[in-house]
């Protein structure tokens, strides 16, 4: 690590008003720089105790009575909490339920039915694979035509890119607020304006934004949204996702899977399906209560820190990282594949180099954990409450070492 990098990191950590929260996370093992919190956040220290208490108390002690006492409502109460603290949604519009992929499918398919008579779905080619695949699946199922946005990946999708593709036949637009590879931050209000003008519904993927950048679903007029809870909400591997349906659509939206947990009067077990009133209808089967526990500890921390303060630290982390990349890695042929304007950048950056894949393997062996993203990207994700500036400096210096070694070995 260069001395200038580590000195600056020390100052930034000392000045960071959220630095004390780093101690709230489990930081065991051999990891010296964890730069993948946007793929899987660390557990909080409180989570083991919460899970133990749940096993002894609510599950072990209350057993099946737990459903009447709190579990049946938990997907909605937890959804409301996320709505208020993280995604800017008033109560009654946000629910925690299935995996991200399943919720994206359910909302996209329901949106197709809501906007009947139209023939097209718009999505961008650089969106996360599951988003693209499930839209292609819905097209195969319904006969919809998929219209692709081919945005310049580093630039990300703009409202103008969307305006060029969307039209009177567009039923639905599916975009990510923060692009999983480049970290590009979408101008959501501008995109909403284009969708509204053409009568298209917007389904926003907030996986890489919820918990790291400001999300204002109600204020922006977004129609539908889905986000992960295992990234910046630290819910643990495979923790359930969160879905949002704007109140104006709740009465008419019809989920594609008619399960008993999303039906009116689930425990009356009547003949014939009637959807539950409100956001509950987005649920299908028994929700994974146990897997909802860890994110509650992270929500405690997010509520105490607040999203604007988290975003401010996130911007400083990515600015610092880009400065180090420019200062230490540009001579090695590394280029920044993320927006340089912090207003258009989320909580992670990607840097490109032909030896990225080989270097990432070596980095993992030495306890420096970024992500490799095809074809030649090293993705550096900073989880604002658990990542220190010191970790960023250690990590980027290690990336430099390994790229230098890989270049010597391979001549790249």
Ligand X SMILES: Cc1ncc(COP(=O)(O)O)c(C=O)c1O
Ligand Y SMILES: Nc1c(O)cccc1C(=O)C[C@H](N)C(=O)O
Give catalytic residues, as residue numbers: 128, 205, 230-231, 379
| Binders of ligand X in range 348-407 (CB under 6 A) | none
Q: In sequence order, what are the residues at sequence separation of 6 or more whose Cβ sits closer than 8 angstroms to the Cβ of residue 111?
A: 171, 172, 201, 203, 223, 224, 253
Based on the shown chain and the rule CB under 6 A, indicate whether residue 382 belongs to the binding site for ligand Y: no
Question: How buried is residue 324: exposed, middle or buried, by Cβ count under 10 Å (0-12/13-18/19+)?
Answer: buried
Q: Of residues 39, 170, 177, 383, which one binds ligand Y by CB under 6 A?
A: 39
Residue 149 near residue 162, CB atoms below 8 Å = yes
Q: Of residues 2, 6, 46, 99, which one binds ligand X by CB under 6 A?
A: 99
- The CA-based angle 368-374-375, given to 5 degrees, is 115
Based on the shown chain and the rule CB under 6 A, indicate whether residue 128 belongs to the binding site for ligand X: yes
Which stretches does DSSP call E strand in 21-179? 33-34, 94-96, 120-124, 145-149, 170-176
Contact partner at residue 87 from ligand Y, ligand X, none, CB < 5 to 8 Å by partner kind? none
Nearer to ligand Y, 165 or 317 (CB): 317
68-76, 95-103, 306-314, 381-389 -> range binding ligand X (CB under 6 A) = 95-103
Q: What are phi and psi of 363, to 5 degrees?
A: -60, -45
Q: Of residues 25, 34, 54, 180, which one binds ligand X by CB under 6 A?
A: 180
Site string for ligand X, 296-335 (x = CB under 6 A): ----------------------------------------
Q: Are strands 170-176 and 201-205 parallel, antiparallel or unpaired?
A: parallel
Q: How far is the CB of 23 from ligand Y (least distance, A)?
A: 25
C-alpha torsion sign, points 153, 103, 95, 251: positive
Nearer to ligand X, 180 or 232 (CB): 180
4-12, 87-95, 98-106, 319-327 -> range binding ligand X (CB under 6 A) = 98-106
Based on the shown chain and the rule CB under 6 A, indicate whether residue 100 belongs to the binding site for ligand X: yes
> Considering CB under 6 A, how many residues would be counted as binding ligand X?
12
How far is residue 155's CA from residue 90's CA, in Å, rounded to a whole number? Answer: 32
Nearer to ligand X, 9 or 134 (CB): 134
Nearer to ligand X, 8 or 379 (CB): 379
The length of the chain in residues reads 412
Based on the shown chain and the rule CB under 6 A, indicate whether residue 131 belongs to the binding site for ligand X: yes
How far is residue 381's CA from residue 235's CA, in Å, rounded to a whole number? Answer: 17
Nearer to ligand X, 194 or 243 (CB): 243
| Binders of ligand Y in range 154-193 (CB under 6 A) | 180
How far is residue 121's CA from residue 42's CA, in Å, rounded to a whole number? Answer: 36
Q: Of residues 176, 182, 316, 387, which one binds ligand X by CB under 6 A?
A: 176
Both tokens of residue 366?
A: 């030495």
Q: How far is the CB of 82 from ligand Y (least distance, A)?
A: 18
Q: How far is the CB of 313 from ligand X (least distance, A)?
A: 21
Number of neighbours of residue 252 by Cβ within 10 angstroms: 9
Nearer to ligand Y, 127 or 170 (CB): 127
Q: How far is the CB of 183 from ligand X (least distance, A)?
A: 11
Q: How far is the CB of 132 from ligand Y (least distance, A)?
A: 13
3-class secondary structure, 307: helix
Contact partner at residue 2 from ligand Y, ligand X, none, CB < 5 to 8 Å by partner kind? none
Under DSSP, the state recorded for 62 is: I
Helix (H) or strand (E) holding 112: helix 100-114
Q: What DSSP string describes 10-78?
A: HHHHHH-TTGGGGGGB---TT-SEE-BTTTSPPPBTHHHHHHHHHIIIIIIIIGGGHIIIIITTHHHHH
Based on the shown chain and the rule CB under 6 A, indicate whether residue 205 belongs to the binding site for ligand X: yes
Closest listed residue to residue 175, CA positions, set 219, 117, 231, 135: 135
Site of interaction with ligand Y (CB under 6 A): 39, 180
Site of interaction with ligand X (CB under 6 A): 99-101, 128, 130-131, 176, 180, 205, 207-208, 228
């Amino acid at each position: 690590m260069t001395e200038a990098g580590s000195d600056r990191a020390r100052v930034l950590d000392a000045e960071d008003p959220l630095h004390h929260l780093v101690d709230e996370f489990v930081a065991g093992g051999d990891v010296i720089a964890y730069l993948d919190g946007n793929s899987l956040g660390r557990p909080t220290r409180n989570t083991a105790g919460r899970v133990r208490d749940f096993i002894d108390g609510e599950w072990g002690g209350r057993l099946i009575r737990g459903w009447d006492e709190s579990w049946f409502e938990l997907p909605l109460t937890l959804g409301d909490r996320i709505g208020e603290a993280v995604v800017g949604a008033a109560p009654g519009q946000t629910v925690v339920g299935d995996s991200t992929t399943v919720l994206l499918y359910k909302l996209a398919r329901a949106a197709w039915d809501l906007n009947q008579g139209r023939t097209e779905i718009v999505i961008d080619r650089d969106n996360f694979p599951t988003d693209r695949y499930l839209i292609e699946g819905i097209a195969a199922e319904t006969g919809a035509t998929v219209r692709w946005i081919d945005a310049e990946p580093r630039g990300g999708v703009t409202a103008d890119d969307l305006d060029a593709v969307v039209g009177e036949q567009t039923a639905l637009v599916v975009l990510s607020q923060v692009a999983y590879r480049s970290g590009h931050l979408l101008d959501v209000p501008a995109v909403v304006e284009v969708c509204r003008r053409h009568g298209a519904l917007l389904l926003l993927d907030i996986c890489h934004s919820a918990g790291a950048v400001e999300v204002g679903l109600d204020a922006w007029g977004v129609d539908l949204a889905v986000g992960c809870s295992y990234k910046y909400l630290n819910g643990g591997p495979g923790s359930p996702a969160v879905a949002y349906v704007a109140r104006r659509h709740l009465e008419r939206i019809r989920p594609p899977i008619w399960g008993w947990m999303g039906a009116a009067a689930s425990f009356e077990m009547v003949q014939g399906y009637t959807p539950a009133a409100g956001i509950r209808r987005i649920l299908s089967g028994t929700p994974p209560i146990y897997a909802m526990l860890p994110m509650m500890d992270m929500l405690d921390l997010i509520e105490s820190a607040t999203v604007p303060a988290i975003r401010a630290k996130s911007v400083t982390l990515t600015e610092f990282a880009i400065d180090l990349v420019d200062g230490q890695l540009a001579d090695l042929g590394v280029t920044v594949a993320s927006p340089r304007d912090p207003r258009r950048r989320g909580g992670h950056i990607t840097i490109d180099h032909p030896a990225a894949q080989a270097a990432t393997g070596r980095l993992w062996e030495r306890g420096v954990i970024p992500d490799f993203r095809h074809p030649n990207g090293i993705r550096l994700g900073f989880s604002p409450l658990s990542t220190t500036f010191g970790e960023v400096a250690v990590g980027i210096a290690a990336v430099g070492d390994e790229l230098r070694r890989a270049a010597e070995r391979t001549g790249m």
